[in-house]
Copies of this chain bind each other. A is one copy, B any other.
Amino acid sequence: MHPSRGLGNHGYEGYQPCAVIRLPKDVNIALRQLLKDVNIALRQLLKDVNIALRQLQKDVNIALRQLLKDVNIALRQLPKDVDHFSFANNNTFQLKYLINDSYWNQDGGPIFFYTGNEGAIEVFAENTGFMWDNAADFNALIVFAEHRYYGESLPFGNKSFTSPKYSGYLTSLQALSDYVDLITHLKSHLTGAHTSPVIAFGGSYGGMLSAWLRIKYPHIVAGSIAASAPIWQFIGLTPCGAFNRIVTSDFENQTPECSNTIRKSWNFINTITSTDAGKQWLSSTWKLCKPLKTTVDIQHLKDWLSNVYINLAMVDYPYPANFLEPLPAHPIKVVCGYLTNSRESDKDLLKTLYKGLNVFFNYTGQVKCLDINQSSTSQLNDQGWDYQACTEMVMPMCSDGNNDMFEPQTWNFSEYSDTCYKKWKVLPQQDLIVKLYGGKDIPTASNIVFSSNGLLDPWSSGGVLRSLSETVVSVIIPDGAHHLDLRASNPDDPVDVVIARNFHRKNIRTWINKHNKSNRKDR
């Protein structure tokens, strides 16, 4: 105390310390608990507000983008040769593409060009937010080109898949030529695009196309972001079991019970469906739209199941998404939340499995029955891809049931070939892609980023997992599923995706600068 400062009149003289009031112990504990609860509640509130804000931000963003797209995306069609490589066929067809110039610097600004893959082009435009997110920064024109024989770009309309004389022009190189022609057309017809550098983007098969576009036509595109592009998923380049082993590890990493449940289910299905009563039981328990009758039906069911697991692995994104099917965040975690006891008896285990499957095919709760004849990937055109797999895209797959959770199956090319011939009247050519694009021998490739290669993504088995040169580089995203880096930025993105996207931007900038520099030199 320092009374010297003239506090005399303020009653300090009469100050007396209170008596120490000791609260009873219970009250003390109760207060502490209260404090803790308030703290938790506040944190939760903060989190909720944060989430709501993020959601709001996202919604506004999406709405704005949609608005922009609606106003500015022009849907265009360009007549293209059905056959780029002969003068024997003069048919043409309309190639569909989406174009947006909201952000474009019309004096030589770059063109962001998505090399469409197996589906309607809108699916890729909606799921490749990375291009939209970066268009403004780069003043880029955005183009999404549809792959021939998908969406509305059917060269022979409804007949397109009825005979090889129509379907025969569905090849990767014909599609690349469509893109070369479209780019050439845009550059010569859009004012200011004449000297524009073109950056190719693509995910999955689209990523393969964007890499091959740069490899085969380096004068057409300055560089490529090839996400989750399994360009090595071909004969002699990758063991046939690698893909299924990665799918399995995605489930096993949640809990070994999960993959074990699936591994056990195949035998249970076989045993139960060996009787008519069993077929009936499974059909009704799993609410199948069409009851199981024949051995072919059973095989069909098992194929459908395998595809569900593969697709779950591909789209195991950290937030709710609607790429192949509407799904919750971390869908494998959700599915595996049901598959917790692989020691259940046959019927119980299959009942449990059904609960897990529900997540995939009926997340919205709208589906009345399980239709195993309907594609599990409603947004893609399975017919076209099935045909491509029967011609060029022969990707050997096998399983052993030990290192993976699938029913053992060897890779039998001649059987595969027979099936293809029955379906499409064509014979698959398993060495064509390597002969055409070089396989692992791509000595003159440059300016390609092979990205994603998420270790969750089964397609990383055939991906380029190491950099091949200074300008053909590989980016691994350990926590990434199928081409996660091409999706729009999201607050729930793992940090490696954020880093990868920055790396993409740096590379794109380098390619553009190099293009513009050599362009100026040429003038």
Contact = CB atoms under 8 A, between A and B. Distances in A.
B443 A446 contact: yes
B86 A217 contact: no
Assign chain A's interface to a size class: 35 or more
Interface stretch (A23-31, A162-170, A280-288, A399-407): A162-170
Nearest to A519: B441
A445 to B, nearest CB: 7
Interface stretch (A173-181, A295-303, A332-340, A366-374): A173-181
Interface string A218-262: 111000000000000000000000000000000000000000000
Contacts of A442: 218-219
Interface in A437-460: 438-439, 441-446
B219 A441 contact: yes
Nearest to A443: B218
A511 to B, nearest CB: 11
A85 B87 contact: no
A164 B86 CA distance: 9
Contacts of A165: 88
Contacts of A217: 438
A85 B174 CA distance: 7
A523 interface: no
Given A219-B443, A441-B219, A444-B218, A435 B87 contact: no
Contacts of A83: 85-86, 88
B86 A426 contact: no
A342 interface: no
A188 to B, nearest CB: 9
A9 interface: no
Interface-centre pick from A169, A180, A218 (highest chain B CB count, 10 A): A218
B84 A85 contact: yes
A216 interface: yes
A89 interface: yes
Given A180-B435, A219-B439, A439-B219, A391 B87 contact: yes
A171 interface: yes
A210 to B, nearest CB: 15
Contact of A181 (B84, B435, B444): B435
A390 to B, nearest CB: 9
A275 interface: no
Interface string A413-431: 0000000000000100001
Contact of A435 (B86, B184, B439): B184
Given A218-B438, A435-B184, A438-B217, A87 B168 contact: yes
Contacts of A90: 164
A171 B444 contact: no
B87 A426 contact: yes
B441 A444 contact: no
Interface string A58-94: 0000000000000000000000000111111110000
Given A217-B438, A218-B438, A435-B184, A164 B443 contact: no
A220 B443 CA distance: 11
A274 B446 CA distance: 62
Interface string A150-174: 0000000000000011111111011
A220 B441 CA distance: 9
Contact of A85 (B173, B431, B443): B173
A444 B216 CA distance: 10
A446 to B, nearest CB: 5
A426 B83 CA distance: 14
A168 B89 contact: yes
A228 B86 CA distance: 26
Q: Report, nearest first, the 3 A-B pairs whose CB atoms are least far apart.
A: A88-B168, A219-B438, A85-B85
Given A88-B164, A218-B438, 12 more contacts: A83-B86, A85-B171, A86-B168, A86-B174, A87-B167, A87-B168, A88-B167, A88-B168, A181-B435, A216-B216, A218-B443, A219-B438
